[in-house]
């Protein structure tokens, strides 16, 4: 855990419009002042990201969030239930929203999230700024769950990297569009559909697949493998298939939380090995397994 001096230094960089990578409970974020067009543009540049892709803005509190976005009853209920935590709410921008239009990719909605990680919260408090922060990877690459991953991706493109160790959740936040009457889950995460429905009397619909299609390792990913060839490396879940040249184990006991926390780190490790491809054992489509399978499907899809 970094000390107060580092947080002060990081805040100064942010106030000067520089970028700082910081840990959240989900993955590391690449943060910049969300009220500054220049700082937000720098984020796109550093990631090499296609411009018209909106960013999540991280805030200190629901009160702050309500200055930027219009919260209907369901949005308020969800925020009260799950903030701080791995939940992002897409809402209409307020009339005098001070956030850069670039975080909305020019649109009239904004994605807001109050993170739970103590270092992220300390940084938001010290900087006294809303922070636009996509995952701290180059565009099209796997989200970083350790400071070393961020260094690999963004060294030299970011003023500072705050090291908070490994991210506890390991998968990006659940993204829910609450602009309409019925909440729509745009990206599955560790806040599960059951949890969303409990706050939404009219129910909630799941509509993933609209978001980025490019969590891509360099090697080919083969999903739901029931066997493995000698030139393949294996991402195992439960008792590993025999015969792979290298194995990473998501969870020997079949624990989905453990698997989510390990997923991106292990994909990185496997991708670094020389191999004829990465075979992935089936992961059950229940609870967090839905979020894990969503990321795996994206990683296996042909690159955009
Ligand atoms: O866990 C997370 O959410 C991490 C940490 C750093 O907070 N952040 C993250 O950001 O994953 P990013 O930019 O990699 O993913 C944000 C997702 C994108 O798929 C984007 O399309 C969607 O949220 N998004 C952002 N603003 C949106 C908006 N106004 N409407 C619809 N989708 C939006
Ligand atoms: Mg991302």
* pLDDT tens-digit map of 13-44: 999 999 999 999 999 999 999 999 899 989 98
Radius of gyration of the chain (CA): 19
The pLDDT assigned to 71 comes to 97
Q: Which of 111, 120, 146, 288 to mutate to test the pocket of ligand 1 (most atoms within 8 A of CB)?
A: 111
The protein residue whose alpha carbon is closest to atom 10 in ligand 1 is 134
Per-residue pLDDT, averaged over 113-139, amounts to 97
Find out whether the beta carbon of 262 lies less than 6 Å from any atom of ligand 1: no
Q: Cβ(104) to ligand 1 under 6 A? A: yes
User: In this structure, what DSSP letter does residue 184 have?
Assistant: E
pLDDT at 213 > cutoff 60: no
Give the mean model confidence (pLDDT) for residues 179-185: 90
CA-nearest residue, atom 15 of ligand 1: 134
What is the per-residue pLDDT for 50? 67
Tell me, what DSSP letter sits at residue 115? -
Minimum CA distance residue for ligand 1 atom 13: 134
CB of 134 closer than 6 angstroms to any ligand 1 atom: yes
Alpha helix segments (H runs only) across the chain: 4-15, 37-47, 62-68, 73-82, 118-127, 147-154, 193-197, 256-272, 288-300
Ligand 1 binding pocket includes 133 (Cβ within 6 Å): yes
Ligand 1 neighbour 208 (Cβ under 6 A): no
pTM of the model: 0.90
Cα of 66 vs centre of ligand 1, distance in Å, is 18
CB-based contact 187:213 (threshold 8 Å): no
- 149 pLDDT more than 70: yes
User: Do 190 and 113 touch, CB atoms closer than 8 A?
Assistant: no
CA of 273 from ligand 2 middle (Å) equals 23
- Report the separation in Å between the CA atom of 56 and the middle of ligand 1, taken as the mean of its atom positions: 5
Find the 174 Cα to ligand 1 centroid distance in Å.
Answer: 9
Percent of the chain with pLDDT over 70: 95
Q: What distance in angstroms lies between residue 304's CA and the mean position of ligand 1's atoms?
A: 18
Cα(137) to centroid of ligand 1, in Å? 13
Average confidence (pLDDT) over 173-201: 90
Which ligand 1 atom is nearest residue 110's CA?
A: 29
End-to-end C-alpha distance for the chain, whole angstroms: 37
Instruction: Please check whether residue 99 is in contact with residue 54, taking contact to mean a CB–CB distance below 8 angstroms.
Output: no
Res. 52: pLDDT tops 80:
no
Average pLDDT over residues 202-221: 74
Q: How far is the CA of 220 from the centre of ligand 2 (A)?
A: 20
């Amino acid at each position: 855990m970094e000390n107060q001096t580092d947080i002060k230094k990081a805040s100064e960089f942010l106030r000067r419009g520089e970028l700082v990578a910081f840990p959240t409970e989900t993955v590391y974020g690449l943060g910049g002042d969300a009220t500054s067009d220049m700082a937000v543009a720098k984020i796109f540049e550093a990631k090499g990201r296609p411009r018209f892709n909106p960013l999540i803005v991280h805030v200190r509190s629901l009160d702050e969030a309500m200055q930027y976005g219009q919260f209907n009853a369901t949005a308020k209920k969800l925020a009260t239930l799950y903030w701080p935590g791995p939940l992002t709410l897409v809402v209409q921008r307020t009339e005098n929203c001070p956030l850069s239009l670039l975080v909305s990719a020019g649109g009239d909605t904004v994605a807001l999230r109050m993170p739970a990680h103590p270092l992220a919260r300390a940084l938001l408090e010290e900087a006294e700024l809303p922070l636009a922060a996509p995952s701290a990877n180059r565009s099209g690459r796997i989200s970083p769950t350790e400071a070393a991953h961020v260094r690999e991706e963004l060294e030299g493109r970011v003023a500072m990297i705050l090291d908070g160790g490994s991210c506890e959740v390991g998968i990006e936040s659940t993204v829910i569009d609450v602009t309409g009457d019925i909440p729509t889950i745009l990206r599955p995460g560790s806040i599960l559909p059951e949890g969303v429905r409990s706050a939404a009397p009219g129910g909630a619909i799941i509509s993933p697949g609209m978001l980025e299609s490019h969590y891509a390792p360099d090697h080919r990913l083969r999903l739901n493998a029931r066997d493995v060839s000698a030139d393949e490396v294996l991402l195992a879940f439960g008792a590993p298939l025999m015969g792979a040249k290298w194995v990473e184990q998501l969870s020997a006991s079949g624990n989905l939380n453990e698997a989510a926390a390990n997923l991106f780190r292990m994909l990185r490790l496997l991708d670094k090995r020389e191999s004829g491809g990465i075979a992935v054992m089936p992961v059950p489509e229940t609870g967090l397994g839905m979020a894990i399978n969503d990321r795996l499907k994206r990683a296996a899809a042909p690159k955009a």
